[in-house]
C-alpha cells in the first residue's frame, strides 16, 4: 500500500532484442514503468506490443537484453523468484483466457488456491468479492465463461488477474471488441481499481479513447524500439510519420476533442 513519492521504476527493460527466425521484432528496446502509473503501449500492427507484454511476464524468451521487475531479473530462470513474481502481477489476456471448464468463481479461486492456510470458505467469499469489485453481478460467479458476453468475460478475467492483489496488472487490449459504452465503463473500472488497490497498469491498446481517459504516460513502439514516451500532449509534438498519423488522425481528433472525454479524465 505504501507508495513513495519519487516515481520508482517497477519494470525496467534494457536492450531487449526479440526475434522469430530472421524477423526481428525488437532491437535495443528500453522501457521503464513507474510505480502507480497507467502506462499505455501503442504501435502499429506487428510492432510487437503483445510480444513485449509476453516477454515481461516471461512467456516469451528474448534473444538478448534484460528485464527486471521489482529489481528481480525475470530471465534468470530462478523458479522461486519467478513464483514470487507471479504473485505480484496479474495478466488479463485478450479474450479473458478463462478456464472454460470452471465457473467464473472457480476461475477466480485458482490463484487463491496457491495461498497456504486459506480456508476454502474464505477463498470462496474473496472470489465473490473480486467478482463484485470488477462490477459483475453476484450470479455471474456460478456461470461458465461460455455463458458470458465478451465484456463480462473480460471483467471476469480481470477479477482472476486481481485475485492475489497484484502490484502490477498487464492488460492486453482490454477494450478491444467492446461496444463504446462497455469500453468506457471498463476504462472507468480500471481507474477505480487503480486508485483503490494502488495498481500499476501496463496497458496494450489501440483505443484512443482509453489512452485519453486513463493513461498517465504513453509509450510508442515503432522501428523495433520504444520511439518515445510521455504524456498525450508530448505525443502531439512528436515529429515521426506514424506518431503524427496516429495522434493527428480523424479518429484521434474526435477522441480528444469530445467534451465527454475530458470530463471522464477529470472524474478519474
How far is Cα 233 from Cα 182, in angstroms, rounded to an integer? 26
d(CA 92, CA 203): 10
Instruction: Indicate the residue among 123 and 206 with the shorter CB distance to another protein.
Output: 123
Write phi, then psi, for 76 (nearest 5 degrees): -65, -20
Closest separation between CB of residue 86 and another protein, Å? 14
What 3-state class would DSSP assign to 217? Answer: strand
Taking the least distance from each CB to another protein, the nearer of 146 and 241 is 146
CB closer to another protein out of 26 and 155: 155
Q: Give residue 220's Cα distance to chain centre.
A: 15
Cell numbers at 178, concatenated:
467492446
Are 224 and 169 a contacting pair, CB within 8 Å? no
- Candidates 23, 28, 21; CA nearest to 46 is 23
Q: Which is nearer to another protein, 45 or 139 (CB)?
A: 139
Nearer to another protein, 41 or 127 (CB): 127
What is the rounded CA–CA span in Å between residue 205 and residue 101? 29
Least gap, CB of 128 to another protein (angstroms): 5
CB of 59 to another protein, least distance (A): 20
Tell which residue, 70, 73, 43, 46, has the closest CA to residue 61: 73
The answer to whether residues 111 and 164 touch, using CB atoms and an 8 Å cutoff, is yes
Binding site for another protein (CB under 8 A): 1-3, 100-101, 112, 115-119, 122, 125-126, 128-133, 138-139, 144-146, 162, 164-165, 192, 195-198
Rounded to the nearest whole angstrom, what is the least distance from the CB of residue 42 to another protein in the complex? 29
We find the least distance from the C-beta atom of residue 261 to another protein, in angstroms, to be 24
Amino acid at each position: 500500500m505504501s507508495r513513495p513519492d519519487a516515481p520508482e521504476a517497477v519494470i525496467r527493460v534494457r536492450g531487449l532484442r526479440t526475434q522469430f527466425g530472421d524477423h526481428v521484432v525488437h532491437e535495443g528496446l528500453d522501457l521503464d514503468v513507474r510505480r502507480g502509473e497507467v502506462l499505455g503501449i501503442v504501435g502499429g500492427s506487428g510492432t510487437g506490443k503483445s510480444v513485449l507484454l509476453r516477454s515481461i511476464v516471461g512467456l516469451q524468451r528474448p534473444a538478448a537484453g534484460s528485464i527486471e521487475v521489482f529489481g528481480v531479473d525475470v530471465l534468470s530462470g530462478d523458479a522461486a523468484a519467478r513464483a514470487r513474481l507471479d504473485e505480484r502481477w496479474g495478466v488479463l489476456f485478450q479474450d479473458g483466457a478463462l478456464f472454460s471448464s470452471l465457473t467464473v468463481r472457480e476461475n477466480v479461486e485458482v490463484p487463491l488456491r496457491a495461498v497456504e492456510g486459506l480456508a476454502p470458505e474464505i477463498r470462496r467469499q474473496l472470489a465473490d468479492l473480486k467478482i463484485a469489485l470488477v462490477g459483475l453481478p453476484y450470479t455471474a460467479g456460478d456461470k461458465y465463461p461460455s455463458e458470458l458476453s465478451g465484456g463480462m468475460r473480460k471483467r471476469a478475467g480481470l477479477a482472476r488477474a486481481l485475485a492475489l492483489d497484484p502490484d502490477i496488472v498487464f492488460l492486453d487490449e482490454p477494450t478491444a471488441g467492446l461496444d463504446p459504452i462497455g469500453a468506457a465503463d471498463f476504462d472507468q473500472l480500471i481507474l477505480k481499481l487503480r486508485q483503490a488497490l494502488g495498481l500499476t497498469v501496463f496497458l496494450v491498446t489501440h483505443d484512443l479513447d482509453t489512452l485519453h481517459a486513463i493513461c498517465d504516460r504513453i509509450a510508442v513502439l515503432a522501428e523495433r524500439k520504444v520511439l518515445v514516451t510521455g504524456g498525450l500532449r508530448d505525443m502531439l509534438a512528436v515529429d515521426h510519420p506514424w506518431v503524427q498519423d496516429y495522434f493527428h488522425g480523424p479518429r484521434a481528433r474526435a477522441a480528444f476533442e469530445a467534451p465527454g472525454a475530458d470530463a471522464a479524465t477529470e472524474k478519474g
